[in-house]
Structure 1
């Protein structure tokens, strides 16, 4: 390499970007994405380009780079494999869909006009080290853009690091915080601790903390090894003596090479602006519409056309206008509204969206309604915009020129309730409830959020902004552009109508175009039945349940809150006595100091911040070892959560107009089809503890009525028996035998009659745990028994029920091949992480095993809920809540038994005719004045 001092020296700032880290971060952070024209995987390339664009457009002031390069690993072995042939032997092959993206990221780097460097036989870290050292020697500053711990040995004397994930600078102090030593001794610590990811052996049993302590005590690695005989701890002394040469090899493996041969000068890495034609051409070729438009706007260039379909021999469809390009109508007179209604009738469909004063559908007031019937045809009908500034609600005086709310609703009601006209929405349940409160019940309906959910559950989110960018290449107007944020935020009612119109009309037009995009995809992806029978019909059912709400007794909650406060105080006294001093029980820091510093208990490994962990898992492990203090802290935390989350918070959710609590259900939350409940969350009220069960006492029936609870009995175990075809379990369910006692009898060879309750409890824990892929560690924690004993139980279980192991293996194999699993009813549950390596793979595997079981149970209760309104129409009853496998109703006194008979019939036959289960579904029922009595 020739001298480049004249071109690079004092005042220059070199940025070295760890390109390989960028690629893998982009790949794992984003869902799979393929180029529409040919199916080429480009998800990692998209993420990589977005990160590069953010990098080149960031304003850095005096830290701005004068020179920059993106450094990549070259495929193949390096000199380290000659030092240690097992180096990186544990690393899995890159995922199949990532491999073709590697060369594309190099192309992307060059398209951004940034130097792209990789050298055969050398790792990216060595190239970065060489460039950093030479730039430092030349008098320049260096910033390494990476979070890779191996590069921290380079920090100092003009070299620092920027963690691109956290946006945090890493200097010598941060290195000491992570490794316990300065940058100059990082290699010594790494040599001792080893690295399981790169298969660097290190010293067995010595981690980072111990390694740092040894290096700080002895000064450096070689001194430590030469004086290992002096170490007092016998096991540590023996480890260092026996593994001295392996530790020295490890040091050579982790030491970066600052002498990598380079055939270019530092001066050649000077920053250059992207050439618009080259960069935009590459982005358009990748079919990144949104980024192409964003880059074109920034560079002041015309965005090239993005072609996303292969050439066709036939006639081409006319190009659709851009969203909002043709302008949007603002409807402020009756004649224009009448013309829009005529267009809706002619089209036979309309996309609709409402603008309101609140996200709470039960209290929100209408501000406007937007409609769209075709691409380029959308309008906004303002009805509630007000004058005034300075607060969220304005003065209340309506802006002149708007049509009256009652007149607009009266005109729209016939078309919105016309069964010949399809109403399309994005998260339509919200708009459905808003209009239902005004006497309009929309039917029939289509929901683009639920279409996306049926198609892409587990791959990406289903919000309109994300769907618009992903499937339409359109970036929606951000709401904060209209209402601001923070203390200066205003309500939508205060937004000027001329600004509100393009925003609101855009929502309706985007929804219309998403419907056009998703509708033909449903049959091609074989999810039409799922959407039409499990998703779409649930919208009005849940809307009615949410609007009905449930009555809550505030006095009961107040008394419970006082009782919980007293119990917490008693527990605090007990905890302080066990600790031997007073401290803040709610402070993890103080608790960690008591448990691990003062009491000397094991565990509580320090995290990145250096603070002790006092998580529930850590405390449960300590409690299982027989320590009273952590057990009492767990009790205190449970009591505190019940008090803050329920007894204190529930009264704040009571609607002042109805006097009831109105939860909101998310249909497209969990990818298995389970519903989620928010504001308030009624799904997570604990029922296994006496205190948790008492919370349900506060949910009460209206005078003259009773609450009825119907709950599926062991539905997931029944589905497992069916799908895994387990004869013993199926017969037990048919005969009505105690399934947990039967399992215990099968496993442990004991008779069902007179069985020890502890043995049954263990079988029950395995029965339910196996559905979720429980490990020996997890079962040992649940049963508070040694891990070896727990693992022996699981092994025995699979010996007795080999069909379950076969089901698990087949399900995982299918998920790896297809990228998804399906429930009995056809719900497609994507498993994007199933082929990953490391800890994530275990979680993805367990999720794949559980998904068809939990998903089928969720599908069955959805089917029951959809059928229920028609079944109980003639009864003085209404459905109020759904909680996992349970439905809660309110019914007039005297009609409870009739309701149970009808509802049980619906629930127990909900799988049919789509699926004929080989085991019966059984529903338990209860009646009471409150939920606790009924359950």
Structure 2
């Protein structure tokens, strides 16, 4: 090993925020939030392990920010003015993070009125002057200015989150210039997070190009006078002073006073005693076990890694200790009771009343809540304190469910329901379920209106939506939640009922096995509720759960039970028409191809298009097949391939036939004569409801075919359908959230917003410019690229970029919103709606361009689309009480489709119901959120869903 000194400087502030946003909240035994502390500790621990495996440091220190002010605020008072205050539950963790650093017996540097970056820069240069190598543990772009070598002493960086070393080539790849010019690039592009102005409209690529071409910032600014007339020239000339100010702000201070000499950073082993005491104080039991502390006489470690002797196979991981669990016993299925007498059932119900909280789960004969028979139910009151009450079991031996099948002893179904009803309907007892909406519908058909309820699936979604790709969060099903939060593997349904031809119904499962499976569901649900519900306030998710999603659960269940009537004869006629048309198109495709082939086979279609017919641009994927997705076919169609147009039409008609006109007929419930869709409260990452079995949300709205399908949705005789639709709600929310005066004014005055945009963009309004403005309005909110907009408008990409630039110039608030949103998501890992709904984007900083750009587009729109979803959910939850108060309790809310609600009511009640519905929807955001623009609601009625538009 070399005798050369090697200093590691850890950017502790970056560690803190990464830890806070990477891990779900935890609390220590005293109830203090410690999620970030735990994450910080595991990250420091992992750094220790990784460095000990490699040629580790001889010296190391952790550098933290002491205060939020520095000399930069004196130069520019607005510096970092846009930064939000630290999260409420993070503030009390700052001193504990300092304690964690000291527990590792590591030097901690934090100076008042000096930023951590400046202290890092000062120490790095001081060490370099002494001939030491320096590694800065951070990925902060500002610190990349320090990278390089002087007289053999090298400064590099280590991004521990990506396990990447950053040296000159990596800096040049990122910025297009050498490290010493990074500050010049940063000065041009600015930084919205730190509120460094830069030059408006100059992004990273333009900035790096200018600096690379001219050599430095001054030369680049001087060159503006010789440029051809352009927006860039105007911006460089007009905002030169901003760039020069920014250059001062991004320059690292390298001559701060050193509060501790370099020699005191020497690593001399980490004594385990203070670390063990710290871990024990805060209940970090898994780390304490790894340390091997508390076993008598811990030995002093001889290296940076305090757990080297017990390192094998053990690494701190983001989800390795998601929640410190209470001292619960492990799941013991043998402890569950099978309740087979009324006496025992009454005993359990009495205990549930006393407990005030009970986990409930139903076992049924089918997944369709509107047709399933209740086979039994389970109750959970605590760890391993659960029971199963069979009601509809019969012999599992012969697989027969006829009236002569042998039935085990079980409580009479009607008697059980009679004693269960008061418990499940009592306001004094909370009922907890996992996807409890299903159970609400099953039990409602038994005459039980369950309330009040909590749902562990929805709680999980409201805290962890979108986190799965990060190794944290994941799905929200019981099996996934149990594994992640309880470390428990649940019994699988297939383990008790089998699969394939040998599968049996749950009613055939022997009672001992059925009890283990069903009671475990209640036990696990009870445990999950205890773990997850306490996280809600720590995670900042209480508002969205209590004010948006939880009240919606019984409302959505009620809508599913209502269903909607469809005209079977009309659907049958449409199916026949679609079949005839697709057969004709199929013949035309075969004729043009010169052979018959299976159009629905991507492999055969690709070979016909790109090999036999010779169309250019075919690309094969990993499977070896040509891609024939919609974008490929649309490109070929634009290039004149008529066969591509026909394949697109064939696909659309085939999909509409199978998905709607055929499927809707099959979905008609024989008991109600109506179609009952199922809504998922956790199906869309932004919080929108999603519809399945059948999906009623993707029926084309503006095509003639889509209208024909909607005509088949009809009311009962004597009634009409009423459709209430938010008008341009996402644009209205954008005007409010991005603070765009021009759009706010237009909405306040009731103007045609697309006409207003056309006037701002083109200087005139006609049919063509309004249509283009409409496309641009919505495309911008979805983070569309120049190439995407070019494709939609049928123009060149340069022209599309000019339109985007013009749009941002006319509505600068939109661009500021986009920049601020992306910077926030890149920093925090999630976006937030006005009601506090978080959507996580774990791939927002991905090296994979497609992944990163996809996340960026979604992140731009998520706060707007998510707020829109929150608002209509609030409207839905308030609708029934408002109608009842107006004497219109018989008006039925049937469907929610994106920004629209569909009702069924007597025609004579339309005049009375319309203003009530409009008022509820228009005021749904209040009082939690006061919008600066009005929410417009359009209402129509008719003899079909189509006619109501």
Task: Give the structure-2-normalised TM-score.
Answer: 0.66
1:670-700 alpha-carbon deviations (Å, 9 max, x no partner): 1211000000000111113111221111111
Q: Distance in 2 between matches of 1:772 and 1:520?
A: 35
Mapping of residues 52-91 of structure 1, within 5 Å: none
Instruction: Identify which of 355, 359, 365 aligns with 1:351.
Output: 359
Gap change, CA 1:310 and 1:503, over 3 Å in 2: closer
Q: SS of 1:403's equivalent?
A: coil
- Within the candidate set 898, 902, 906, 2:912 is matched to 898
Q: Hey, what does 1:846 align to over in structure 2? A: 857
> Paired residue for 1:129?
none
Alignment of 1:899-914 (within 5 A): 899-914=913-928
Q: Distance in 1 between matches of 2:673 and 2:831?
A: 43
| Match 1:740 to one of 737, 749, 754 | 754
Shift of 1:928: 1.0
Contact persistence 1:34–1:40 (CA under 8 A): no
Counterpart selection for 2:453 from 445, 454, 467: 445
Secondary structure, aligned partner of 1:604: coil
Partner of 1:213: none
Q: Say yes or no: does 1:337 pair with 2:345.
A: yes
1:777 pairs with one of 781, 787, 795: 787
Partner-residue secondary structure (3-state), 2:38:
coil
Maintained 8 Å contact 1:468/1:474? yes
Map 1:266-665 → 2, pairs under 5 A? 285=290, 319-324=327-332, 327-389=335-397, 391=399, 397=405, 399-459=407-467, 460-665=474-679
Distance 1:630 1:533, change over 3 A: same
Displacement, 1:601?
1.8
Does structure 2 retain, via aligned residues, the 8 Å contact 1:711–1:924? yes
Counterpart in the other structure of 2:281: none
User: Is the 1:33–1:41 contact (alpha carbons within 8 Å) kept by the matching residues of 2?
Assistant: no
In structure 2, distance between residues paired with 1:479 and 1:40: 39
Whole-angstrom CA distance in 2 between matches of 1:760 and 1:98: 47
Equivalent in the alignment of 2:831? 821
Q: Is the contact between residue 395 and residue 408 of structure 2 (CA under 8 Å) also seen in structure 1? A: no
SS of equivalent to 2:378: strand
Given the alignment of the two structures, is residue 870 of structure 1 paired with residue 881 of structure 2, yes or no? yes
C-alpha spacing 1:337/1:615, structure 2 compared with 1 (3 Å)? same
Task: Provide closer, same or farther for how the CA distance between residues 94 and 732 of structure 1 changes in structure 2, counting only shifts above 3 A.
Answer: farther
Q: Distance in 1 between matches of 2:518 and 2:396?
A: 21
CA contact (8 A) 2:722 2:942 kept: yes
Residue 917 of structure 1 is aligned with which of 931, 934, 941?
931
What is the distance in 2 between the residues matched to 1:718 and 1:798?
A: 17
Greater shift after overlay, 659-668 or 770-779?
A: 770-779
Structure 1 position 758, deviation (Å): 2.2
C-alpha deviation, 1:94, in angstroms: 7.8
Aligned-pair distance for 1:385?
0.8
Q: Per the alignment, in what secondary structure is the counterpart of residue 674 of structure 1?
A: coil
The partner residue of 2:740 within 726, 732, 737 is 726
**CA 1:617 to 1:41, structure 2 compared with 1: closer, same or farther past 3 Å?**
farther
Q: Distance in 1 between matches of 2:741 and 2:786?
A: 25
The range that moved more, 618-627 or 407-416, is 618-627
1:855 aligns with 2:866: yes
Indicate if the aligned counterparts of 2:362 and 2:376 stay in contact, CA closer than 8 A. Answer: yes
Worse overlay, 476-485 or 414-423 = 476-485
Residues of 2 paired with 1:451 and 1:373: CA distance? 19
Task: Identify the residue that residue 676 of structure 1 maps to in structure 2.
Answer: 690
State the secondary structure of the residue aligned to 2:930: coil
- Give the direction of change, closer, same or farther, for the CA distance of 1:783–1:391 in structure 2 (3 Å limit): farther
Please state how far the C-alpha of 1:318 moved relative to its aligned partner.
8.0
SS in 2 for 1:401: coil
TM-superposed deviation, 1:882: 0.3
Taking the aligned partners of 2:615 and 2:659, their CA distance within structure 1 comes to: 31
1:384-427 deviation per Cα after TM superposition (whole angstroms, max 9, x unaligned): 11115465857773523101111111111111111011111111
Using the TM superposition, name which of 643-652 and 572-581 deviates more.
572-581
1:475/1:318 CA distance change after superposition, 3 Å: closer
Structure 2: any 5+ residue segments left out of the alignment? 1-17, 27-34, 47-134, 137-147, 149-155, 166-284, 293-318, 468-473
1:327/1:582 CA distance change after superposition, 3 Å: closer
In structure 1, stretches of 5+ residues that fail to align are 1-26, 47-74, 77-84, 86-91, 103-279, 288-305, 312-316
Root mean square deviation of aligned Cα: 3.1
Name the residue aligned to 1:762: 772
* Structure 1 residues 610 and 325: alpha-carbon distance in aligned structure 2, compared to 1, 3 A threshold: closer
SS at match of 1:368: strand
Q: CA deviation at 1:308?
A: 5.9
Q: Deviations over 1:850-898 (max 9, x none)?
A: 1100000000000000000111222231000000000000101211222
Alignment of 1:210-229 (within 5 A): none
Of 797, 800, 804, 1:790 maps to 800
Asked if structure 2 preserves the Cα contact closer than 8 Å seen for 1:733 and 1:919, the reply is yes
Q: 1:555 to 1:592 in 2, by over 3 A?
A: same
Describe the shift of the 1:496–1:519 C-alpha distance in structure 2 as closer, same or farther (beyond 3 A): same
Q: 1:307 to 1:837 in 2, by over 3 A?
A: closer
Residues 302-358 of structure 1: per-residue CA shift (max 9 Å, x gap): xxxx996999xxxxx983222226701111112211211111111111111111111
- Please state how far the C-alpha of 1:767 moved relative to its aligned partner: 0.6
2:476 is paired with a residue whose SS is coil
Deviation of 1:637 after TM superposition, in Å, equals 1.2
1:283 is displaced (CA, Å) by 12
Contact 2:286 2:321 (8 Å CA) reproduced: no
Aligned residues: 660
Q: Which residue of 1 aligns with 2:941?
A: 927
Relative distance call for 1:310 and 1:413 in structure 2 (3 A) is closer
Q: 1:365 to 1:732 in 2, by over 3 A?
A: same
2:25·2:535 contact (CA, 8 Å) conserved in 1? no
Q: Is the 8 A contact 2:559 2:894 kept in 1?
A: yes
Distance 1:401 1:666 in 2: 36
- State the distance in 2 between where 1:310 and 1:518 align: 9
Question: Taking structure 1 as reference, are residues 690 and 285 closer, same or farther at Cα in structure 2, changes over 3 Å only?
Answer: farther
Q: Given the two structures, how large is their TM-score scaled by the length of structure 1?
A: 0.67
Specify the alignment match of 1:802 in structure 2: 812
Which secondary structure state, in structure 2, belongs to the residue aligned with residue 934 of structure 1?
A: coil
CA contact (8 A) 2:376 2:390 kept: yes
Give matches, 1:97-108, under 5 Å: 97-99=161-163
Q: Cα distance, 1:374 vs. partner?
A: 1.8
Aligned with 1:474: secondary structure?
A: coil
C-alpha displacement of 1:93: 8.5
Alpha-carbon distance in 2 for matches of 1:309, 1:614:
43
Q: Does 1:888 align with 2:902?
A: yes
8 Å contact from structure 1 (residues 624, 784) kept in 2: no
- Hey, what's the Cα distance between the residues in 2 that align with 1:284 and 1:474? 20
In 2, Cα distance between the equivalents of 1:388 and 1:379?
A: 20
Residues 760 and 495 from structure 1, CA distance in 2 versus in 1: closer, same or farther, beyond 3 angstroms? same
**Within 1, Cα distance between the matches of 2:903 and 2:423?**
33
Counterparts of 1:319 and 1:925, CA distance in 2: 55
